[in-house]
């Protein structure tokens, strides 16, 4: 039931993107990489950038979902890539350079959220989480930096409210996102004189399959979602488009004096 509502709302939101197209006129003609862009927040950001006239390269490990996401706009392209593989990272950056001749925006969105108590965790679980949530972000940023320095571009990292409001059974994820927030602040200072801005977005509870619990009846599933929404002051889940709106602003010239900042988009959940 929840999935059907999400799909219906996504169709409506894509239509809304057409209405707000070119809100940030200066983004037209720019090029972006959005890792993890085949679904969820990454897909929402890719669609928003495409609506603004940005050529977007999305990455993911599964071609079928990438194709589906890319079908939303002729401005969205895809590279099948595992961000923990440095050769795949290089392939993605090379695609942007070869096809667009530039890179203006890097969105580090790909991530993994293990739900596990430390009493059950193995070192391999830490390696998997930090390889994607931290190491891959560093690798992509380093390999993209020559193009971003040339364009005086933007880096937008995806954090989480968990970085400052950690939850039980999420130590690997919240620990990784805390690292991302500190990278964001330090890189912003290091790159300020080069004209490259670095910011992060910290979403709260955003509609995605991660909130679905297997084995529940439709009634139980609806009650589960209600319990989550009841804990959010604005009384609704966030949408990928809510995060995409912030990403579009941060990439635009209207945020020209904004760097080194972490923006919560959470409906006041982490107050």
Q: Domains of the chain, with CATH numbers?
A: 2-265 (3.40.50.720)
∠ CA 259-260-262 to the nearest 5 degrees?
105
User: 2-19 and 218-230 are packed helices; what angle lies between their axes, rounded to 10 degrees?
Assistant: 50
Name the strands in the sheet holding 76-80, side by side, starting at the edge strand that comes first in the sequence.
76-80, 55-60, 31-34, 105-108, 154-158, 197-203, 262-265
Model pLDDT, residue 226:
86
Residues 6+ apart with CB under 8 A from 85: none
| 79/81 Cα distance (integer angstroms) | 6
Model pLDDT, residue 227:
83
Q: What are 32-89's pLDDT values in tens digits?
A: 999 999 999 999 999 999 999 999 999 999 999 999 999 999 999 999 999 999 999 9
Of 24, 173, 249, 257, which residue is the catalytic one?
Answer: 173
User: pTM for the complete prediction?
Assistant: 0.89
Per the annotation, the verdict on 173 as an active-site residue is yes
Model pLDDT, residue 115:
84
- Cα distances from 263 to residues 129, 159, 171, 182, 198, in angstroms, run 23, 9, 21, 13, 12
What does the pLDDT profile of the chain (271 residues) look like in tens digits?
445 555 555 555 555 555 555 688 999 999 999 999 999 999 999 999 999 999 999 999 999 999 999 999 999 999 999 999 999 999 999 999 999 999 999 999 999 888 889 999 999 999 999 999 999 999 999 999 999 999 999 999 999 999 999 889 889 999 999 999 999 999 999 999 999 999 999 999 998 765 555 566 888 778 877 888 999 999 999 999 999 999 999 999 999 999 999 999 999 999 8
């Amino acid at each position: 039931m929840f999935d059907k509502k999400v799909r219906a709302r996504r169709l409506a939101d894509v239509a809304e993107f057409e209405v707000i197209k070119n809100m940030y006129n200066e983004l037209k003609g720019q090029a972006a990489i959005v890792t993890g862009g085949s679904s969820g927040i990454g897909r929402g950001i890719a669609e928003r950038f495409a609506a603004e006239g940005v050529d977007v390269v999305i990455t993911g490990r599964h071609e079928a979902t990438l194709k589906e996401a890319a079908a939303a706009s002729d401005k969205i392209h895809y590279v099948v890539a595992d961000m923990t593989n440095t050769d795949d990272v290089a392939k993605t950056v090379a695609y942007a350079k070869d096809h667009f001749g530039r890179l203006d925006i890097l969105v580090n969105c790909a991530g993994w959220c293990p739900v596990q108590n430390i009493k059950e965790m193995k070192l391999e679980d830490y390696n998997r989480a930090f390889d994607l949530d931290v190491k891959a972000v560093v690798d992509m940023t380093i390999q993209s930096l020559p193009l971003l320095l040339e364009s005086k571009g933007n880096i937008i990292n995806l954090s989480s409210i968990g970085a400052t409001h950690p939850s039980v059974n999420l130590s690997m994820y919240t620990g990784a996102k805390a690292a991302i927030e500190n990278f964001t602040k330090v890189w912003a200072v290091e790159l300020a004189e080069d004209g490259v801005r670095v910011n992060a977005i910290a979403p709260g509870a955003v509609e995605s399959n991660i909130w679905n619990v297997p084995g529940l009846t439709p009634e139980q599933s609806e009650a589960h979602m209600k319990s989550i929404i009841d804990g959010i002051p604005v009384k609704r889940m966030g949408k990928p488009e809510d995060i995409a709106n912030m990403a579009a602003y941060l990439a635009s010239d209207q945020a020209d004096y904004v760097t080194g900042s972490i923006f919560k988009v959470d409906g006041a959940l982490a107050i």
